[in-house]
Amino acid sequence: MPSFLKDFRRRSVRSFRSSDRSSHDHNGSGTSIPTSKSSSTLSSVYQQQSTPPPSLPSENSFTSSKLVNGGPTPVPPLPVRPITTNGHRNSSYVSTRCATNQLLQLKTFIQGGNGMTSPPPLPPRYQPTSPFAPRITSIENRAKVHQKIVLISGFIGDQDSKALDGHVTLHCEKESFPPTSWFVSDSHFKCLVVLEPGVNLLRLDFTSPKISGSSSSIPAHSSWIELFYLPLNSVPPLHLAIILGRDSPGTYDAVPERVEREGNGLDTAVRKFRMAAYLWQAFTAEQMHRNGFGRRCWRYDEEWSPSTLSYVETMAGQFRNEARIHIIRSEKTVAELRDLNIAQQHEPATDKGALFGIAMDAVKKHFKPTPAQKQYVSCMFLDTHWDPEQQVVRGHAALGGGDGEVSLAIFGSHALQNYPGSMEEVVPAFTDSTKTDTSLIANDCNQSGTTWEAANIGIGAHLHETGHLFGCPHQESGVMLRDYVTLNRTFTTREGFCTRTNSQGLRVCKKEDECGWHRLDCLRFRFHPCFRQPTDPGPAADESVQFWKAEHCNMITADSGVAWIELYPQGDDLCHTWIEYLDNRPRLVSVTEKELRSKLPADKRNKPLKVEIFSCGGGKHVVEDIGQLNSKQNRLKLPDGRKGWTGSKLGFSQMEGSEPQELILDSAWWEKSPDRKKVLMSIRVYHGFAVDGLEFVYNDDTTQLFGKRGGKPGGDEFKLDTVKGEILMGFYLRAGLWIDGIQILTNRNRKSEIYGNPAGGSGHTLIPPRGYEIAGISGSCGQWLDGFSLIITR
């Protein structure tokens, strides 16, 4: 028998556990159900009566009305028939087959399939060795993660026992990463661990001068945890880049002591930027987990290069797969970059967007992106320089945004000297209270008075701009406000003197003291392509959202499902009220204006209300004033007396000479009169690089034209099979500023080609909600169609 099967043949399939799909095999939230006292390495063998630390709610436990209530309902273990051998001569074969089956189940767990959510428990030798063994509360044993560096936190002993100080030393199995030591303050600890792809067995040893240690090689106070690291290679990466002037020497601002100790050249900049980026990733994954979305995060483009994550490995010249830092030379000189005098916090700034444009040009030249392969890039200008005479940071801008080819974030290097360059430097960087020498380096917005505060501002503000890169606006709290001034609390257990508040920092930095991503940021991340996980559905073919006004309510349709709605009463630039639909992700939501206004504070319910609607496919639709949609201008009366309503419009109707148009289809009302029935036989589409017009042809050879007859002479005709009852069901449009392309959809699941430009704009499906039909088309036309919406009726 192979040696790796020996441990498995001693256990039956009973040692496997199963739970619902909301546990960590589907979303990484780490929710699992212990089946025996030996199944968790997080509880002490000396405290078997104590309950394990509560787990956070899974993604499926969040609903629109219960965002933070309860986790998933426990699912009991599946009954498994015990295997018996009865001394049969084939018993060795049966045992081997059993062990093989267990290996297959373990493989299934790692791949996240067939409902297998937890492999066999760790052997007894991996149980905690004393009541003072570290107890991990932030992550479940055998959780799956998708990022290289994971944040782990917990406490020593029982939370009600006497507080202890000391150190936790983290060891990786087979010494895949050098041991690292982390402070314990009042029994609380936090540490970062670097994982290898696959299974990672970790040992945490606690030592303290207040308790006795071990006189042998066996650690006295140890616990173990096993984590599965599954790298993501099927989602677009976040690229990291350093931009230099074409004549740059490749150095950044640093005090002489720093330059002498660690240098300030390009190699050091790469180490520090890479470490900061991994801190972003660990921070974000932990925040997503706390919000019930599993430890999902973006991935980095990695390369095989000399390791910088550990000082020990750097000195030994060891190689690893680590985040690649692209080095990009700008066409501008250092003087040109600095003479732009970009400093968003100061009046002398002349063009706050100039550096963003320079960075965008340099990035596009380097990556050569296409609309079909969008790039996500977070950049740092290395030639940023503090001018103490004018009190201005030159060559720096903090901005994030992008276009259809590149999503970009930019930041300066004026705080780079304070960043950690390796795992061993993380805690020192976030606890160093050395005062900032403003004659040499910047005190950003007077919030970087010490080294650790400057590290917060630099790493946190760049993360803020990276949030903009992923589509996050400013929020009422969190990283997208300015809560990153307390970023240090995520990675340390104590806080030094704070010059920003002129007060002594926290004695113990607990979870409730940390900064975080706002819930709305996490919602955006949940459905962003860079955060997709293997168990998620594939990219939505249609991410659009449509808003329809009807007789007694408003209807929202989204082919990928409605995710959430944000409400903005007049005067609110930030969202304070939103509604989530993550529980069932409906494709149709009916809601009245009164219901939406009832969610707002009493003093804002009568103000004009803007509504932003988001789909599970990542689409967004904005209704600038929901009250206007309910006005008479969006209602009309059909010739047969029925009411009609105009849906949300595509296109901006801003072309030169653009004029509004409205067309009521004859077939929508003539067919109600049996003696004068009209049947729509075909639709002609006039198009070139955009859509010029639509002509509707009837059974009596009459036609109706919406738009104009331009583009291809005679257009293209799509005929309906009226003998089989085929009728017009809706349209699929490619639209942006105008209508780029259009596709005709019928009730028999037939569709035309996309006439016009099939790659222009973004995709939108216009099909009336259930119980309604197309009565006509409303919009506008200039040189071609630049506005399009459906008129619907019952």
Which residues are known to be catalytic?
465
Cβ pair 695, 702 in contact under 8 A:
no
Question: What does the alpha-carbon distance between residue 678 and residue 672 come to, in Å, rounded to a whole number?
Answer: 9
Cβ–Cβ < 8 Å for 58, 19: no
**Long-range contact pairs involving 426-435 (C-beta distance under 8 Å, separation at least 24):** 426/192, 426/275, 426/279, 426/491, 427/182, 427/183, 427/491, 427/492, 429/455, 430/455, 430/456, 430/487, 430/488, 430/491, 430/492, 431/488, 431/492, 431/494, 431/495, 431/496, 432/496, 433/496, 433/497, 435/499
Which residues share a beta bridge with 662? 778
Q: How many residues does the chain have?
A: 794
Cβ-Cβ contacts under 8 Å for 634 (sequence gap 6 or more): 549, 628, 645, 646
Nearest one of 722, 664, 721 to 696, comparing CA atoms? 664
* Residue 45 tokens, joined: 């063998």
Residues 6+ apart with CB under 8 A from 726: 720, 746, 747, 748, 750
Nearest one of 561, 42, 538, 519 to 292, comparing CA atoms: 519
The beta strand positions in 175-295, using DSSP E, are 180-185, 188-194, 198-207, 222-229, 238-244
Contacts of 260 (CB under 8 A, 6+ apart): none
Task: Give the three-class secondary structure for 699.
Answer: coil
Name the E strands within 468-584: 546-549, 554-557, 562-569, 577-580
Task: For tokens 């444009």, name the residue.
Answer: 357
> Which of 555, 560, 551, 467 is closest to 515 using CA atoms?
467
DSSP state of 187: T
**Nearest one of 409, 401, 399, 394 to 333, comparing CA atoms:** 394
What is the DSSP secondary structure assignment for residue 300, as one 8-state letter? B
- 3-state SS assignment for residue 687: strand
Contact between 485 and 500 under an 8 Å Cβ cutoff? The reply is: yes
Residue 210 burial by CB count (10 A; 0-12/13-18/19+): exposed, middle or buried?
exposed
Neighbour-count burial of 504, counting CB atoms closer than 10 A to its CB (0-12 exposed, 13-18 middle, 19+ buried): exposed
Helix (H, G, I), strand (E, B) or coil at 485: helix
CA distance 64 to 586: 12
Can you tell me the distance from the alpha carbon of 330 to that of 183, in angstroms, rounded to the nearest whole number? 42
Task: Evaluate the CA torsion angle 285, 61, 526, 523 in order and state its sign.
Answer: negative
Query: Is residue 773 a contact partner of residue 792, using CB atoms and an 8 Å limit?
Result: yes
**Per-residue CA distances from 655 to 331, 347, 785 (Å):** 35, 36, 9
Q: Report how far residue 55's alpha carbon sits from residue 409's, in angstroms, rounded to the nearest whole number.
A: 35
Q: In angstroms, how far is the first alpha carbon of the chain from the final one?
A: 72
Strand partners, 153: 190
